[in-house]
Structure formats: structure tokens, C-alpha cells
Amino acid sequence: MQANLHLDTHYAVGNIDPRIFGGFLEHLGRAVYGGIYDPGNPLSDAQGFRRDVLEMLQALNMPLIRYPGGNFVSGYDWTDGIGPRDKRPKRPDFAWKSIETNQFGTDEFMAWCQQLGSTPLMAVNLGTGSTAEAAALLEYCNLPRGTYWADLRASYGHADPYGVKLWCLGNEMDSDWQAGHVPADIYAQRAGQAAIMMKGLDPSIETVVCGSCAYWMSTYMRWDLTVLDYCWEYVDYISAHRYSQNRRGDSAWYLAEGVEIDRILTDYAALLNYVRAVKRSQKQVYLSFDEWNVWYKDVEQDGKGQVAPPLLEEIYNLEDALVCAQYLNSFLRHADVVKIACLAQIVNVIAPILTRPEGLLLQSIFYPFQYFSRYARGRSLMPVIECPTYEAGERGPVAVLDASASYNEETNSIAIFLVNRQQEGELPVTIALTDRTCQHILGVDVLGGGDVKAANSWEQPNRVKPMAGNAVLDDTGALQTIVPAPGLTIVRVQLAER
Ligand code: AHR
């Protein structure tokens, strides 16, 4: 078996927006408390931020972090989480049936983002919260001193506005598990009004309106159409969410997950162009895929009234990591539509990093994200693939190779991301770059091969870890490499000057 990949640096899908490598932090389980924030722990700094967690998140190179939810935000009163800590109320959290202590709130999040080197993507509560409360949070975050909420921020020691540029208008509002869930037309009015008020206060911001929360929802696309029809002029992005699963235990089917991800992205591209055409609008709205990951093994959602209970502590294996790689391949192949994406989530809760008081563990999904976010820069190239197919259940015959590529004009280099979906039979790939000459290979990284269920654990933390791979330039100038079964190979190449 053999695959061919043809690339040409003239044939680009679009510029890669680095914000597709965002993350998501929710007040859920041990994500905040015991995850990123653990005052008193010797591994934490003076602000209570876990230094080891910050360091590993920095390695993921996430330019933005969505916060504070998720389902949590739809019942959250952000004013509970500001001011002197000893005055902050404890509240029951509707979404995860836990107790929220509010010891970590907006100001702590901004300080933590700064430490991380990321920017915030703030979500406002449009479930139980009002548009006025959403506008008040914007005033607290973004306005210079001279008005009530901005002065309050300054009085708490934050004289300068935070200048938060990106705002989510609620979360998953088409889901009946969402606090304050309403029909599409009512949400559309609420979100539109919130956006008008918020942009009125700070015209420099961009807003993300809630799209339907899943492909399997009956509201998929219908909700989105209603919402976009009403809000088109006031919003800049619409959200999409997906959690992949292999509940049936069929790895051949599961490893074809990229087919479904592509379908969703194609659906949104069509919808966004349709609404723009119907409105004869000069403006474009893009996609914010602000929750994506694998999630199906740890689905307990009842925190039983505890503070920071362990919830959604999913253990990730090799096949999950390869599904994550396919999300990233799909985002790159649809770089013209997807401008923001957030891995959900970042620590302990469905996360690449697990913590204990004495240390942390990197899960399999850490590595594909790390490599893509580090190397996929510049323009996304259209990958033309010739390869055999394999049977993936009702997903049909599916190409064994899933691929994407980026061309960085600044460094005159390309990065190629190759996923072999087969569980047996390593895949030799020949990569022909039609318009340029490869000068030398900068590096080859490989993840996988072997047991799809292999996972890292506290006892065996390095079972799934990338290794150096091989690639050669053959006599014709083409690149030859091998992708393990199943596995991910990333090849980086320095191009000769034109
Ligand atoms: O990320 C976990 C949850 O999944 C989020 O709170 C919600 O938005 C989604 O349903």
C-alpha cells in the first residue's frame, strides 16, 4: 500500500488563523480548582497558579482561552467572582451540581492568561443572565476609568482595562440542559441585543453567536439559520461544538472521524455563504469551533454538591489522539471558514493535562495539538491525495490517509501532517511539491503505531509519546516518509529559494 500527496504553494485554501489553536477552561470539576489554580501547593506561584501546569500549557502555544464556560456560564453571576475573596459567595452550580467558591474569577483569569501568554475569549451568561449584565461585564473588563464597573475594577487593583477582544454570546443555547434555554428566535433577539449593547460600549470587540451545539441535535443548521438571519450584522462568528466518541468500540469506524468533521465544516461554509447571499451582505461571518475533543468515557456530570469534584476526567489513548489530529487537519483544510477553535478542555476535565497535588501527566492528545500549534503557520495548502480506501462501517470506504499542509512564507518552509487511519500496515507516503524544490528536511515527528488503546498513566507516563521519524528526498525531488499504523507523521521541510 502506498499513498501520494501533491502540493503546490500557489494552491492555498486560506491563511491559517493561529486562533484555531485555542483552549477552553470552564469552572467544572478540577479544571480551575486543583487544576490551574492551587494556592498553598508548593508547585504554585504567589498568585496560586500551578507553575508546572502553566509551563506545559505554554508548550501547547494556545493564543486564546475561552472562559468561564460552557454550561457553567449559563447560570453564573460574574459579580460573585470579583472583589475581596473573603466576601465572595459560595453558590450551587446548576450545570455540574457542584459548589462554586468563586475564589477564582474574572480578575484571576486575566492575570492567569497574562502569565500564560494567551488572550481571553470571554463568554457572557445569556441563559439566566440579562443583556445588561453582559454589558456590565464588558464595561468592567474594557472601559477606562470613569464609569461604575470600570471604577470598581480599578478599585480592586486593576487600573488598566483588560481590552478583551472576543466575546461569546452565551453557550449552547439550543440545548435543553442549558440554564435559560430558549427557542432559536428568542435567543437570536437576546444575542443580537447583547451584541449591540456590547459593541456600543466597545466597538473594537468581536462577538461569537451560539450555533447549534451538535450535529445530532434536531436544531442543527435550522437554529443556526434563524440565529444568523437575525444577528448577521451584529456578530462576527458562529460557534460549533463536537465531542467524538467510540462507544461502539469500532476503531476502524472511529478512525474515520475526520469525514464527519469535514462534513460539519462544509455545512457551515454553505450556510454562511447562503445567509450572506440572501442578505446581499458585504460582510462575512466565520466559524468559531470553540469546543472540540473526544469525550465519552467519563460522563458523570453530577458533582454531588462538592467543591471541585473530579468530573469528566477522561483518559485518552492513541486512537483518541489520532482523532484529535484529524480535527486539526480538518480545521486547516477549511482555513477559509474556521478562524477560531478551542480544544475542550485544557486541564483535568477532558484534557491533555491531568494533575495531582504533586505533579502532572501528559495525555496522548497533548502531542498532536502541540505539533500542529507549533508548526502549522502561514497558508493552508490544498492537499491532493491519491491513496487506497478501507472499510469504515457505515462511513463507507474512507481514504486511509488524512492530510493537511501549511506553507510559511516567512520561513520559506512547509509542514505536512499525515494520519494513517489503518490499524495495520504502515503507510509509505510520497509527497510531491509541484512548484518548489525541497532543500532539506527540518524534522520528522511520529506518534503512534501499535495498540490503539495504549494510553499514558501515572505508572507509565510515556507509553504514547512522539519519536523522531524518517523522511528522505528521492532522486525526483519528492519526499518519502512512512506513517505508522495507526499513527501521525509530521514532516517539516526547508524550501530552496525561488
Ligand atoms: O466541555 C464540557 C461541556 O460540554 C460544556 O460545558 C458544554 O458547553 C458542552 O456541552
Cα distances (angstroms) measured from residue 225 to each of 262, 348, 443: 19, 35, 44
Query: Which among 319, 346, 375 is the end of a domain?
Result: 375
Residue ending a domain, among 315, 340, 375, is 375
Q: Is the same domain home to 81 and 222? A: yes
CATH classification of the domain holding 450: 2.60.40.1180
Other Cβ atoms less than 10 A from the Cβ of 386: the count is 12
Residues 365 and 472 in one domain: no
For residue 366, CA distances in Å to 322, 352, 361, 440 come to 11, 5, 10, 28
Closest atom, ligand 1, to C-alpha of 71: 6
Domain boundary among 375, 397, 430: 375
Residue 427, domain extent = 3-9+380-495
Residue 161 has what pLDDT?
98
pLDDT of residue 35: 98
Pocket test for ligand 1, best of 32, 126, 243 (most atoms within 8 A of CB): 243
CATH at residue 293: 3.20.20.80
Residue of 291, 299, 348, 349 best suited for mutating to test ligand 1, as the one with most atoms within 8 Å of CB: 291
The answer to whether residues 284 and 425 belong to one domain is no
- Same domain? For 68 and 85 the reply is yes
* Residues 76 and 183 placed together within one structural domain of the fold: yes
Instruction: Return per-residue pLDDT of the chain as tens, 498 residues.
Output: 899 999 999 999 999 999 999 999 999 999 999 999 999 999 999 999 999 999 999 999 999 999 999 999 999 999 999 999 999 999 999 999 999 999 999 999 999 999 999 999 999 999 999 999 999 999 999 999 999 999 999 999 999 999 999 999 999 999 999 999 999 999 999 999 999 999 999 999 999 999 999 999 999 999 999 999 999 999 999 999 999 999 999 999 999 999 999 999 999 999 999 999 999 999 999 999 999 999 999 999 999 999 999 999 999 999 999 999 999 999 999 999 999 999 999 999 999 999 999 999 999 999 999 999 999 999 999 999 999 999 999 999 999 999 999 999 999 999 999 999 999 999 999 999 999 999 999 999 999 999 999 999 999 999 999 999 999 999 998 999 999 999 999 999 999 998
Q: Both 199 and 225 in a single domain?
A: yes
Same domain, 340 and 268: yes
Q: Among this protein's residues, is 291 annotated catalytic?
A: yes
Atom of ligand 1 nearest to the CA of 172: 8
Question: pTM above the 0.95 mark?
Answer: yes
Residue 104, Cβ density class (10 Å: 0-12 exposed, 13-18 middle, ≥19 buried): buried
- For the chain, the domain total comes to 2
Q: Are residues 475 and 363 in the same domain?
A: no
Q: Which grid coordinates belong to 294? A: 473526544
Best residue for ligand 1 mutational test, from 30, 71, 181 (most atoms within 8 Å of Cβ): 71
Phi, psi of 193 (to 5 degrees): -65, -40
What is the number of other CB atoms lying within 10 angstroms of the CB of residue 53?
A: 23
Q: Tell me: do 247 and 313 sit in the same domain.
A: yes
Rounded distance from Cα 280 to ligand 1 centre (Å): 34
What pLDDT sits at residue 3?
98
**What cell was used for 140?**
468592567
Select which of 139, 172, 314, 319 is catalytic. 172
Same domain, 404 and 358: no
Residues lining ligand 1, CB < 6 A?
26, 69-71, 171-172, 291, 344-345
